[in-house]
Chains A and B, each alone.
Chain A
Amino acid sequence: MEYFFQQLINGITLGSVYALIALGYTMVYGIIQLINFAHGEFFAAGGYVGVIFMSYLLSQGAPAWVCLSGSLILAMAYCAMLAMAVEKVAYKPLRNSSRLSVLLSALGMSIFLQNGLMLTQGVYDKAYPTELTQGGFEFGNVMLSYMQLFIISLTAFLLVALNFLVFKTRMGKAMRSTAQDKIMSALVGINSNRIISMTFAIGAGLAAAAGIMVGLYYGSVRYDMGFVPGIKAFAAAVLGGIGNITGAMIGGFIIGMVEIFAAGYISGEYKDVFAFVILIGVLYFRPSGIMGENVDDTRV
């Protein structure tokens, strides 16, 4: 039973990371129907910016909370800008061409960014400072580390903030209306290009936060770490009904749980397979996902 609870905590931690990445996929897909393959690279880039600034601040003797929040904000801001630039360069000129072209352009961008990261940051793992991640609460044999607590609470905060943004502000309203009908919302005076840029920026910012969390949690980042979590997060977005924000969160938690429990109870070696099997299964039996009854009505 203790093992079960321990796995539950681990699963929630991992799930919250996937949920954050999945949100970016789902928002972008909701608004321009594009699988943004480069999204995983924003996640990796966020991890790198995080490790760079965190070690810099730490070497300057800054307290832990400054290190964490400072690098988090910087990474999110940086990745948001990067995403906007990528959108301008690689996706915006293709707004009216075929789906295949945009998808291939996204794929090319993903390879480009990944290799750019590799060439400039090296092929080896980059270690996160470990001082920040020690300690935790113990309940019997179940351990909840400060790190996990940090990840879970930060995710919760970001999710609440995002929900507020999307459902309570003017901009959220504009995003939702653009997702539903781009031409009509342009007619009533919404600048759809700006909204699309913002969507990319927000999604990439969340992915960057997830990148830092993963870096802290596993202790290191790697230039190609964006690919597999990216696909899993996409699986999560699909599972929840793509285009649906609540669905993406739930999907992320489900994928995280499944992965951890499958690794714990079935086989650690095949843990990645389960996410893909779920993806294929969901697409086959229920292409609109758990939350999405009809894709067209529930985008963002």
Chain B
Amino acid sequence: MIWLFVLLWPLLGVKPEGLEVATTFSVWWKIAAGCSILLVLRQLNSIGVFNFFTKPIGSVAVGMQRASTTVPMVVWAFLLLAFAIAYPHLFGRYAQDVAINCMVYICLGLGLNIVVGLAGMLDLGYIAFYGLGAYTYALLSVTYKISFWLCLPLSAAVAGLGACIIGYCSMRMRGDYLAIVTLGFAEIVRMVFNNWMSLTNGPNGITGIKAPGIYWPDFTNGMTFEHLWLKKLSLIYYVILALVVFTIIAVYRLNHSRIGRAWEAIREDETAAEVMGIPTFYMKLLAYCTGACFGGMAGAFYAARMRFVSPESFTFLESAMVLSMVVLGGMGSIPGVILGALALIALPEIFRDFELYRMLVFGGVMTLMMLFRPQGLLPPKRSMKADKKD
């Protein structure tokens, strides 16, 4: 680690105008300090300085776990849901905004989790499907004035169709090749968004997208149904909450079905799975398309919430961010992905002053996670062999 810092130093200190150490130093000492603190903590932990602290915590955690398992999962789920429903009434606009952002990424992360976590295919172009969904709703809304609720499944379908097309070409590849092809595909999609002026308005993006609307009974004059645009943030919040709940249930059900087991079998050993009679090609294609559908739905919501889409929102960096959520939280586990999304979206909001370092930390965390805890923060119960050689 120290090697890297020593070597990075000259590049950072030198500028064409001459040596300019001040600004560089201000950047670098923070990073170096952060890393060395982590390192020291790790060292101390390994020699057992924190035992007096971690042991009681650990036993408490075990006790909590026992208590939580005695109360059925459903109760916890309902408590959580109740909190989520009450959330907009408890917190202000800013917190709601952050929460909405988080939930969009939870949707995306769960979708990607199907592809990466369950089926074990590294997809670096996931954001393309998010983009496809967003543009589908944007175009349908602006040109044909079709309502959000109709467009939501349509967006999912378009994203799924796109995934089918690219998946059909690339499912025979494994590992690295698949990663690079999906990355290439995402770049192609972004370039098409960027250059197809007549349809997508190029880099300027599409404006004037309608917010989702609902019919609300109005009792003032007998009973009529009034069409209401959900422009208020707290109402938008409920839309995404519903989407997240739907996604969680769907992913959970998929995970615990025959299909989910087939996916996990493919992840563990594709050849063995094929020998056991799993149609690996179709299963992988199915995983890819299902994941893309959730991405497309999240995309449609994103378009409806921002009421603006542009190719800028669908770059490779976004893909990497969603991927790092899945990896950070624990590939294949639903609570893990939710935790990952919360960590990567909500924490930077708290440490607003370090905004610039966000992506830097993403990159560093991704590498460090792979080095020290490749299975993520909350690994799934049906565990995978993280250290298996491909």
A-side interface mostly: helix
Q: Are B387 and A280 in contact (CB under 8 A)?
A: no
| Bound: A111/B366 CA distance, A | 9
A119-B357, A120-B24, A283-B170 given; A81·B180 CB < 8 A: no
Contact mask for chain A residues 234-245; partner B; CB cutoff 8 A; 1 contact, 0 none: 110010000000
Taking CB atoms, residues of chain B closer than 8 Å to A33 are 176
A55-B16, A104-B323 given; A273·B366 CB < 8 A: no
Taking CB atoms, residues of chain A closer than 8 Å to B359 are 111, 114-115
Give the residue name and chain of the A residue nearest to B375 (CB): A101
Taking CB atoms, residues of chain A closer than 8 Å to B11 are 45, 48-49, 78, 82, 117, 120
Q: Are A120 and B120 in contact (CB under 8 A)?
A: no
Q: Are A116 and B16 in contact (CB under 8 A)?
A: no
Taking CB atoms, residues of chain B closer than 8 Å to A35 are 176, 179-180
User: Is A172 in contact with chain B by the CB < 8 A criterion?
Assistant: no
Shortest Cβ gap from A208 to chain B (Å): 11
User: Is B195 in contact with chain A by the CB < 8 A criterion?
Assistant: yes
Which of A5-13, A88-96, A184-192 makes up part of the contact surface?
Answer: A88-96
Q: Which of B12, B188, B370 contacts A273 (CB 8 A)?
A: B188
User: Is B371 in contact with chain A by the CB < 8 A criterion?
Assistant: yes
Q: Are A99 and B180 in contact (CB under 8 A)?
A: no
Contact mask for chain A residues 13-37; partner B; CB cutoff 8 A; 1 contact, 0 none: 0000000000000000000011100
User: Is A195 in contact with chain B by the CB < 8 A criterion?
Assistant: no
Q: Which of A51, A85, A119, A228 contacts B27 (CB 8 A)?
A: A119
User: Is B44 in contact with chain A by the CB < 8 A criterion?
Assistant: no
| Bound: A109/B1 CA distance, A | 13
Shortest Cβ gap from A245 to chain B (Å): 19
User: Is A179 in contact with chain B by the CB < 8 A criterion?
Assistant: no
A35-B179, A270-B195 given; A113·B15 CB < 8 A: no
Contact mask for chain B residues 329-368; partner A; CB cutoff 8 A; 1 contact, 0 none: 0000000000000000000000000001101101111111
Shortest Cβ gap from A163 to chain B (Å): 26
A85-B7, A88-B3, A104-B323 given; A283·B173 CB < 8 A: yes
User: Is A65 in contact with chain B by the CB < 8 A criterion?
Assistant: no
User: Is B389 in contact with chain A by the CB < 8 A criterion?
Assistant: yes
User: Is B191 in contact with chain A by the CB < 8 A criterion?
Assistant: yes
Q: Are B367 and A276 in contact (CB under 8 A)?
A: no
Q: Are B184 and A231 in contact (CB under 8 A)?
A: yes
Contact mask for chain B residues 22-56; partner A; CB cutoff 8 A; 1 contact, 0 none: 01100110010000000000000000000000000
Q: Which of A100, A109, A234 contacts B363 (CB 8 A)?
A: A109
Q: Are B4 and A108 in contact (CB under 8 A)?
A: no
Taking CB atoms, residues of chain A closer than 8 Å to B192 are 273
**B window 157-187: CB within 8 A of A:** 169-170, 172-173, 175-177, 179-181, 183-185, 187
A interface, size bucket: 35 or more
User: Is A52 in contact with chain B by the CB < 8 A criterion?
Assistant: yes
Taking CB atoms, residues of chain B closer than 8 Å to A276 are 184-185, 187-188
User: Is A69 in contact with chain B by the CB < 8 A criterion?
Assistant: no
User: Is A182 in contact with chain B by the CB < 8 A criterion?
Assistant: no
B interface, size bucket: 35 or more
Q: Are A227 and B176 in contact (CB under 8 A)?
A: no
| Bound: A273/B191 CA distance, A | 7
User: Is A56 in contact with chain B by the CB < 8 A criterion?
Assistant: yes
A276-B185, A284-B169 given; A110·B4 CB < 8 A: no
Q: Are B180 and A108 in contact (CB under 8 A)?
A: no
Shortest Cβ gap from B215 to chain A (Å): 43
Q: Are A116 and B177 in contact (CB under 8 A)?
A: no
User: Is A98 in contact with chain B by the CB < 8 A criterion?
Assistant: yes
A105-B367, A119-B360 given; A287·B187 CB < 8 A: no
B-side interface mostly: helix
Taking CB atoms, residues of chain A closer than 8 Å to B367 are 89-90, 105, 108-109, 112
Q: Are B370 and A102 in contact (CB under 8 A)?
A: yes
Q: Which of A52, A93, A109, A110 contacts B16 (CB 8 A)?
A: A52
| Bound: A109/B120 CA distance, A | 21
| Bound: A100/B330 CA distance, A | 13
| Bound: A238/B175 CA distance, A | 14
A98-B387, A98-B388, A101-B374 given; A111·B173 CB < 8 A: no
Shortest Cβ gap from A54 to chain B (Å): 8
Give the residue name and chain of the A residue nearest to B14 (CB): A52
Give the residue name and chain of the A residue nearest to B321 (CB): A111
A94-B370, A98-B386 given; A279·B16 CB < 8 A: no
Taking CB atoms, residues of chain B closer than 8 Å to A117 are 11
User: Is B8 in contact with chain A by the CB < 8 A criterion?
Assistant: yes
| Bound: A177/B182 CA distance, A | 32
Give the residue name and chain of the B residue nearest to A74 (CB): B10
**A window 235-279: CB within 8 A of B:** 235, 238, 269-270, 272-273, 276-277, 279
Taking CB atoms, residues of chain A closer than 8 Å to B187 are 228, 231, 272-273, 276
Shortest Cβ gap from A79 to chain B (Å): 9
Taking CB atoms, residues of chain B closer than 8 Å to A166 are none
Taking CB atoms, residues of chain A closer than 8 Å to B169 are 280, 284
A48-B11, A227-B316, A280-B170 given; A120·B28 CB < 8 A: yes
Q: Which of B122, B172, B316, B389 contacts A96 (CB 8 A)?
A: B389
Shortest Cβ gap from A225 to chain B (Å): 14
Q: Which of A89, A108, A121, A277 contacts B1 (CB 8 A)?
A: A89
List 5 tightest A-B contacts by C-beta distance, closest first: A108-B366, A111-B363, A112-B363, A108-B367, A276-B184
5 contacts between A and B (CB under 8 A): A104-B366, A105-B366, A108-B368, A116-B12, A120-B12
A78-B10, A105-B371, A276-B188 known; 13 new pairs, CB 8 Å cut-off, are A78-B7, A98-B390, A99-B175, A103-B122, A103-B175, A105-B370, A109-B363, A112-B366, A116-B31, A119-B360, A120-B11, A120-B23, A279-B180
